Amino acid sequence: MNSNLATTGAAGRRVALLLLVFFAFTLGASAQSPQASPSPTPSPTPLPERQFFKNILRDQRAIWTSPFRLEGEDARWLVPLGLTTAALIATDRRTAGALHNDEPRLEASRDVSYAGSLYTASALAAASYFVGRSSSNPRLRETGLLGAEALADSIIVYSALKEVAQRPRPREDGGRGRFFTGGNSFPSGHATNAFAFATVVAEEYKDRPLVRWGAYGIAGLVGVSRFTGRKHFLSDVVVGSAIGYGIGRYVYGTHHDPGLDSSGGETAHKQSKLFPFIAPRYDRGARTYGLELAWSF
């Protein structure tokens, strides 16, 4: 009996330590803002594409060291999020056990969860970047670039946490959801990917409520589908979503180009070499309508 209590107590302490680290770097990273440093002489700003991999290394350093930069006001978010996650972990076995292997629901959940897969999210980021670049839309271009950066950061973070947590999925180990027993359920990678990319999109297009809340809505559906599909416990989804949101906020806040805010991020008159400039035309004499296509080579 004493041996079992000691083992349970040790596992509980490791879970508490894991959650403390998670909450600290998630809240700390999302609250970080770039520090302005005076520069004696102006220097050319390198293209953001050339800084992509360096930025990821800087992001990781900021994320994993953020627990040492927490402030007292962070407790406003740290305490509620910690209590919520602890309550979900305590009830995970019961909530996951309430779902049976209903094939229609499992198939529907699997289909929805594809939107949060690494392949889909990466494809959306790549498409945003290349379309934005070819159509001279710097805001869409930045969305793809920062979205890809947030996804790369997310993969590193949740892969490391999965290795530490070692939690089986709901349909494994009798659905007990114990930590440190072998598994990769905690946290949800799909939820992390979905919210990391959705947060970048929402921040880039904060002036367009339909895009902003549509992105968060899709990410939320992805997270729910991972629970209803019995791929993750509720706590896995909540933690993964919080990680993705924090990383997305940090990447955008650190690497966003403020110059896009004043111009709206769109170039109205600059023509693309791949896409024609299209404008309506009306001929009064002939009383005809048409379209003008201008293509620059």
Provide DSSP, the chain: -HHHHHHHHHHHHHHHHHHHHHHHHHHHHHH--PPP---SS--PPPPGGGGHHHHHHHHHHHHHHGGGG--GGGHHHHHHHHHHHHHHHHHHHHHHHT----HHHHHHHHHHHGGGSHHHHHHHHHHHHHHHHHTT-HHHHHHHHHHHHHHHHHHHHHHHHHHHH----TTSGGG---SSSS---SS-HHHHHHHHHHHHHHHHTTT-HHHHHHHHHHHHHHHHHHHHTTSS-HHHHHHHHHHHHHHHHHHHHHH--THHHHHTT--SSPPPSSS-EEEEEEETTTTEEEEEEE---
Report the pLDDT value the prediction gives residue 165, as an integer from 0 to 100: 94
Instruction: Give a yes or no: residue 258 inside a domain.
Output: yes
Q: Tell me the C-alpha distance between 92 and 156, whole Å.
A: 25
Instruction: Give a yes or no: residue 2 inside a domain.
Output: no
| Residues whose CB falls within 8 Å of the CB of residue 34, separated by 6 or more in sequence, listed in order | 253, 254
Instruction: Give a yes or no: residue 25 inside a domain.
Output: yes
Expressed as residue numbers, the domain containing 138 is 15-30+48-270
Report the pLDDT value the prediction gives residue 19, as an integer from 0 to 100: 59
Report the pLDDT value the prediction gives residue 42, as an integer from 0 to 100: 46
Query: Among residues 248, 250, 240, 200, which one has the least CA distance to residue 220?
Result: 240
pLDDT in tens, 206-215: 999 999 999 9
Report the pLDDT value the prediction gives residue 78, as an integer from 0 to 100: 80
The pTM of the full predicted model, rounded to 2 decimals, is: 0.79
For residue 73, the domain's CATH number is: 1.20.144
Please count the other Cβ atoms lying within 10 Å of the Cβ belonging to residue 14.
15
Angle value at C-alpha 113, between 224 and 180, nearest 5 degrees:
70
Report the pLDDT value the prediction gives residue 215, as an integer from 0 to 100: 96
In the numeric block, which tokens belong to residue 297? 């080579």
How far is C-alpha 253 from the geometric centre of its chain's CA atoms? 13
Q: Tell me the C-alpha distance between 140 and 154, whole Å.
A: 21
Instruction: Give a yes or no: residue 37 inside a domain.
Output: no
Can the peptide bond before residue 80 be classed as cis, meaning omega within 30 degrees of 0? no
Report the pLDDT value the prediction gives residue 40, as an integer from 0 to 100: 46
Report the pLDDT value the prediction gives residue 79, as an integer from 0 to 100: 85
Report the pLDDT value the prediction gives residue 268, as an integer from 0 to 100: 41
Average pLDDT per block of 10 residues along the chain, 297 residues long: 49 56 54 45 62 95 86 80 92 94 92 91 96 94 97 96 95 92 95 97 95 96 96 96 95 93 54 48 55 50
The answer to whether residues 241 and 195 touch, using CB atoms and an 8 Å cutoff, is yes
Instruction: Give a yes or no: residue 150 inside a domain.
Output: yes
Report the pLDDT value the prediction gives residue 133, as an integer from 0 to 100: 93
Q: Tell me the C-alpha distance between 33 and 151, whole Å.
A: 19
**CA neighbours closer than 13 Å in the CB half-sphere of residue 261:** 7
Report the pLDDT value the prediction gives residue 24, as an integer from 0 to 100: 53
Number of domains in the chain: 1
Q: Tell me the C-alpha distance between 14 and 171, whole Å.
A: 23
Instruction: Give a yes or no: residue 136 inside a domain.
Output: yes
Instruction: Give a yes or no: residue 140 inside a domain.
Output: yes
pLDDT in tens, 31-61: 554 444 444 444 445 678 889 999 999 999 9
Instruction: Give a yes or no: residue 294 inside a domain.
Output: no
